[in-house]
Structure 1
Amino acid sequence: MASKRRSGGRKRRRGAAKVAAAALLCILLFLGYMYVQSRIVFVRYATVSMRDLPPAFDGMTILFASDIDVKGEGEARAAAKLFDRLALLEPDMLLLGGDYAGASLFSRLNGDETDADLVPARHAFLTSLKDFPAPLGKYAVAAADDMLPEQLRGSMDAAGIRLLLDDSAEIHRGDAGVSVVGLLPGSAKTASLAGRFSGGDCVIALMHSPAEFARAVTSDARDGGAWADLMLAGRTHGGQMVVAGRTLLTLTEHERRCLAGWRKEEDAFLLTTQGVGCEAIDLRLNTEAEVHLITLKRAEA
């Protein structure tokens, strides 16, 4: 009897071990699936018709990318290779929406990585864009998490990227012009920047977070009405890991409302991208990494 009981106990232990091994395998496969989802970057194509677009800019293309979030030299090289491939799209303009480097989850838990430790990887990625072909220019904004802003500006300058911090740039084709405005997170200057433009000017507003949409939409041009025709933001990662409509990321109410995709507010087109990289850990669930190739067309009167 004792022998039979020992034999039965061994079988139960072997059975439990098999169940545990199967469960572990399922978890690893699921994590592998989420990792693969984070590595695939989709190119989204869109055409936006704007009545204020000058005829000289009809057909202009913009490549918009945000939240690269490189976490080391290896990811910086991978991001550089991605943009080498994206250069084949031959956009007229490159716009970058902030969050160029970030600490990994393990570094955050251990507290063993400082802001200065992330600067070399960020610099390596940004300077790799020096030869990125964008005949109408390369422009960028900063996120609140983009550490050491002077080093950031230095990297941007070395890459030929103009960093717009509550500032604007005007692009000319002949006598016609299009303006790009870059807003700082929580900017107190949105209204004054909007007041630089008339309602008939063509303005692209670049910001890191859709939390800035409300302030931008409610600001007026100097002659009243909408001042920006196109507003672009990132920050949300589309929620990164979304289950039953819920995300683990800490987002504001405005960011949740504009989690991803296109919308229209009055006369302005608004886009929130899901971004290229990931916050803290390279895993995605029910979201997709993406960049956007936007073609601007002049709307018929």
Structure 2
Amino acid sequence: MHTKRKILAVITLIFFMAVVVLAYGYFYARLPAVVEAEITLRDLPAEFDGTKIVFISDIHLGPWRSGQWLSKIVSKINGLQPDLVLLGGDYVERGTEYMESAFDELSKLKSPLGIYGVMGNHDYLRGVQLAPVFMNRAGIEFLDNTGFWIYQQEARIKISGLGDLYFGEQLYEQALGEAVSEDTVILVSHQPDYVESLPDDRVDLMLSGHTHGGQITLFGLWAPIVPSKFGDKYISGFYETPMTKLLVSNGLGTFKYPLRYFARPQINVVILRAGG
């Protein structure tokens, strides 16, 4: 009897610990951090100094992420009063039925310089024809393989985007158009891996998501799965690369399992600074 009680106590303890660990991962995954970074760009016009960009990625709206959850995210972003909002793709987790709900909420974003977004690999799988339609209805400029000049007084910078690295095309010249090295170009690419394929140095800043910061990590030190051919080289955060500066967001949602460990979801705020 004494042995049986010990075994029962051990089983109870293991069960309790498992519940605590799962609950922690579930609720941690629903608490996005606002992560701010000042990034100096050499050719940035003085008129854009201090411009606030909010970048979000990997919403993955689906069974574990409701429109109500996204509504709170949108309210938080609007409270940050961004000048410009950029979206990094993967709006839905599965099922085209979530696409409309996602963009209904994203249509409430407010930004004087506009809202622009690319598609991610999940968007190609779940609704390659639908995403651009819903983006247009939501007042979001579809950014895959194209670019837009945005203006402050007489000064301008270019916002460009590329198609998904797995399922789309990356028409770099089409996206950048007539932009030259002396112009400021911000490029949105869902996957950060493209940073190693940049053909020239015209891009001043590249914004990406896709990795989820590893999503499930060992104390933030190691992630068993990182969806990148470069492993954890570009897993999360800011990087100075030979061709450009790169910011990789942890994103907001989750893939497969509604859990995160030591890879907190993020709303990224970039303050542009003009540098010599």
The separation in 2 between residues aligned to 1:65 and 1:100, in whole angstroms, is: 10
Instruction: Quote how far apart the aligned CAs of 1:62 are.
Output: 0.3
The farther-off stretch of 62-71 and 172-181 is: 172-181
Residue 80 of structure 1 pairs with residue 71 of structure 2: yes
Contact kept? 1:210, 1:255, Cα under 8 Å:
no
Residue 236 of structure 1 pairs with residue 211 of structure 2: yes
Contact kept? 1:73, 1:124, Cα under 8 Å:
no
The separation in 1 between residues aligned to 2:243 and 2:72, in whole angstroms, is: 37
Report the RMSD for the aligned CA atoms in angstroms: 1.8
Paired residues for 1:116-195 under 5 Å = 118-146=95-123, 147-186=126-165, 187-191=169-173, 193-194=175-176
The separation in 1 between residues aligned to 2:70 and 2:233, in whole angstroms, is: 29
Paired residues for 1:192-271 under 5 Å = 193-194=175-176, 196-216=178-198, 219-220=199-200, 226-243=201-218, 245-254=221-230, 256-266=232-242, 268-271=244-247
Give 1 or 2: higher helix fraction.
1
Q: 1:96 aligns with which of 87, 101, 104?
A: 87
Amino acid at match of 1:185: D
Contact kept? 2:226, 2:232, Cα under 8 Å:
no
Paired residues for 1:274-293 under 5 Å = 274-293=250-269
Higher Rg of the two aligned structures: 1
Residues 153-176 of structure 1: CA deviation (Å, up to 9, x unaligned): 121111100111111111122322
- Tell me: CA distance 1:267–1:73, structure 2 relative to 1, closer, same or farther (3 Å): closer
SS at match of 2:235: coil
Instruction: Quote how far apart the aligned CAs of 1:137 are.
Output: 0.3
The gaps in structure 1 that reach 5 residues or longer are 1-9, 104-117, 221-225
Structure 1 length as normaliser, TM-score?
A: 0.84
- Aligned-pair identity (%): 26
The separation in 2 between residues aligned to 1:214 and 1:73, in whole angstroms, is: 33
Which segments of structure 1 move beyond 6 Å, counting only runs of 4 or more? none
- Number of aligned positions between the proteins: 270
The separation in 2 between residues aligned to 1:268 and 1:188, in whole angstroms, is: 17
Amino acid at match of 2:110: P
